[in-house]
Amino acid sequence: MKTTGQKLNGVIEMLAIVAFNCAQGDTSLIEQDLDRAKKLLARLAPETMSQEEVGKRWPRLLSAMIVSSDGYYTPRAAANALLAYKLKQSFGCEWHCAAAGFERDGWPHDHDVYERKLRETGERLLGYAVRRHFTHHSEYDEQRFAYSRKLVAEMSGGAYQPPALLASWF
């Protein structure tokens, strides 16, 4: 596995190739080389990734998150939750707040406690989604995974329109 430094060197090399080709007057491959550099850079910096890029990179994980949330996540919300996890940030959606026990135990007055509990809850729910993805067995689960994979594919291709029904109904 490449280290972050090695990946960054790859981006720098791609940009150097683009600069060299521009200086030589060869513009035929510039767009292709810039796309490669952008993809390499996105792997280094999840904070620059769009929801569509997250869907292209981790489609099965996003569909597992949608199914395990029983409809709280849409593909875009699942992408945002995954990005928050990757960036070690909290994701304060209704499901995370309920799973953190805020509705039952009351909302913490200390902002740091709030953030920490939401981060821990996000990690726990992501772990649950991964475990559930590998242990589902029923035909109903298969249908839900197939439908969520379709929604993630539509989002990744840029053609996503939210479903007309509540996600928890599928």
Compute the distance between CA of residue 133 and CA of residue 136 in angstroms, rounded to an integer. 6
How far is C-alpha 85 from the geometric centre of its chain's CA atoms? 9
Query: What local confidence, expressed as pLDDT, does residue 137 receive?
Result: 67
pTM for the full predicted model: 0.64
- The residue ranges of every structural domain in the chain are 4-44, 51-169
Query: What local confidence, expressed as pLDDT, does residue 154 receive?
Result: 83
Is the confidence at residue 166, as pLDDT, over 50?
Answer: no
How far is C-alpha 150 from the geometric centre of its chain's CA atoms? 16
Query: What local confidence, expressed as pLDDT, does residue 160 receive?
Result: 55
DSSP character for 103? Answer: H
